[in-house]
Structure 1
């Protein structure tokens, strides 16, 4: 049941009045809370029965303070209990007992999993515009960062074994466990272990275990698929089991199962959290979990106005269009967007330019891994459609393709390159041919 804020002032509260400056963050926040927040706004998030909670006005205001001051939930618990300035900003009395960290976490989850949280966010953005936070010089930046998953990465054996156990728990719930006992070859799925105990240094034992697990998993999947009226949660579980059973293996023509080399595309890495993925921000920075893409706005880009989270293997720029649309729904029109070269989606850029959004996107640096000339060493005239090599040879290309941002390859003849003094810096080909420049 929703709690009510205690606004009854005591003698000690009167003592505090006037001691906190009217231009301070705490006084301005207190004034904003009085004018904009009330319990009725949050009522749909709470039941009308049961034990009364702390007022969501206090917890939402506490979240704003956390955003400004960088407090963790535990730090906010202490500050709301002992700091008079924080209590003043919360509109709470001086004898307020504070907000515990568990309540903060619970209310945050309720708020931001609901439409109410989005409505309050949009309202806050609108008010920020009114006070000049979003002005003509506001800075909109798009970028991404990695998020580590909270679940441990699992190997193939563990995932299949735990996936079978997961499906069996669903079958037991729906009173289907008797059928499973006739299908499965292994009998250790009810044991409280992460994966079977074998001599893991023995390759023959590992191969035997892999084949048993894969065949048990697929037999279980096929058996359940023949049933009628499969519940959605069980259906989802067998789809996951089938995928993890097959993603790392190959079944030969004679029915044997063997591990494949390399990593499967979009590979699931945990049966506990099947949305986690392998990913990398750079060639040296690996991550297992998720990737977040955000658009920030306001003064110095200090406010997040759009966010999308996906598997860590998603390429940067995948959600640029969605983020721009999300920002608009949140009441933010983007005049100019800054980003790195991952966001050089020319079709999207052309589309958004027609809608009034300019882009300032960094162009990728020209490199040549072989150590020879990069395309910067060639004189390229996009208007005339010519490419001049470092030794002065000129070739034509189709300017209509480059205007459509289509890839164009320019080739120089072997006879032009064979006697060139710069040929070792231009090509490693023994025939000295097919030197190329690719336009964007």
Structure 2
């Protein structure tokens, strides 16, 4: 069981006690899972899962009780922020225990990570940063624009490490806002999102941004680039020469699909193409042609 949500709950309750008028008395009267005047960690056996589970239940109950007593009060900005932060912390990392709906006071640390999770009560804008599946950090991302010939920084911004509004694709146009005329833009793969590539291309810029590598459906097998995809004609031809229609864009991500069902069963290339019993389905997203051209550029070194 992770201890960070426990320490965050305690810190958030202590902050409310400090910053909200009258909250110190409320904490003393109604919150009993921990001595909130003690800045140290709770004195429990941390290798005892039952003890930690009981502590989590008590802390969440204390937080909800405190929030209930403060509900409807007219608070200034500092106090309101402290109460809002407690509400977020109490909700983002916990869930009802097995067989509970939460009304019986039994809680556990959630077995998932909340989107846009607050990781620090001291610095609420900091976020988890997942550079890759193995490389993880906490904090912020610095985004830089540099003129390559002189090495001069032309723009810089610091953003929380997660969230759609802080993604490289959202930040990059702001870094280039003060530039005049079309540019040749070099960037790392973090800035290779299809939407950003389309935005920069439409603005007349020339891009040298390596796109993400494709993953084959079968290890060592065919990737999307081994299929002939004609988005204008609405067709997809597989490595074995079968051509099927490409459906219209649909769904949340406006994807287009081409289904080879019925054609794969006897295909001699099946083992290199798919493990699906019903056959290969090719899926493409918006701006497929731009990303395909970028992969070709990266593979051949063409400009």
Q: Whole-Å Cα distance in 2 between the matches of residues 438 and 187 of structure 1?
A: 53
Maintained 8 Å contact 1:426/1:435: no
- Is 1:436 the counterpart of 2:285? The answer is no
Q: 2:210 is matched with which residue?
A: 362
- Which blocks of at least 5 consecutive residues in structure 2 are unaligned? 289-303
Maintained 8 Å contact 1:387/1:394: yes
Q: 1:271 is matched with which residue?
A: 121
User: How far does residue 249 in structure 1 lie from its aligned partner after superposition?
Assistant: 0.9
CA 1:427–1:236: 2 relative to 1, 3 Å: same
CA 1:277–1:437: 2 relative to 1, 3 Å: closer
- Matching residue within 175, 182, 197 for 2:29: 182
Q: 2:48 is matched with which residue?
A: 202
SS of 1:213's equivalent? helix
Maintained 8 Å contact 2:228/2:237: yes
CA 1:395–1:342: 2 relative to 1, 3 Å: farther
Greater helix fraction, Structure 1 or Structure 2: 1
SS of 1:278's equivalent? strand
User: How far does residue 383 in structure 1 lie from its aligned partner after superposition?
Assistant: 5.0
- Is 1:343 the counterpart of 2:188? The answer is no
CA 1:258–1:407: 2 relative to 1, 3 Å: same
Please report the TM-score for the alignment, with normalisation by the length of structure 2: 0.79
Q: Whole-Å Cα distance in 2 between the matches of residues 350 and 380 of structure 1?
A: 18
Q: 2:69 is matched with which residue?
A: 223
User: How far does residue 354 in structure 1 lie from its aligned partner after superposition?
Assistant: 4.8
Superimposed CA distance per residue, residues 214-237 of structure 1 (whole angstroms, 9 cap, x where no aligned partner) = 111122222223323x11101101
Report which of the two structures shows the higher radius of gyration computed on alpha carbons: 1
Superposed structure 1 runs of 4+ greater than 6 Å apart: none
Superimposed CA distance per residue, residues 348-372 of structure 1 (whole angstroms, 9 cap, x where no aligned partner) = 5444455443333323333215312
Cα RMSD of the aligned pairs, angstroms, is 2.8
SS of 1:417's equivalent? coil
Q: 2:300 is matched with which residue?
A: none
Maintained 8 Å contact 2:169/2:196: no
User: How far does residue 397 in structure 1 lie from its aligned partner after superposition?
Assistant: 2.9
Please report the TM-score for the alignment, with normalisation by the length of structure 1: 0.56
Q: 2:152 is matched with which residue?
A: 303
- Which blocks of at least 5 consecutive residues in structure 1 are unaligned? 1-152
CA 1:248–1:192: 2 relative to 1, 3 Å: closer
Q: Whole-Å Cα distance in 1 between the matches of residues 202 and 283 of structure 2?
A: 30
Q: Whole-Å Cα distance in 2 between the matches of residues 310 and 217 of structure 1?
A: 30
Maintained 8 Å contact 1:305/1:332: no
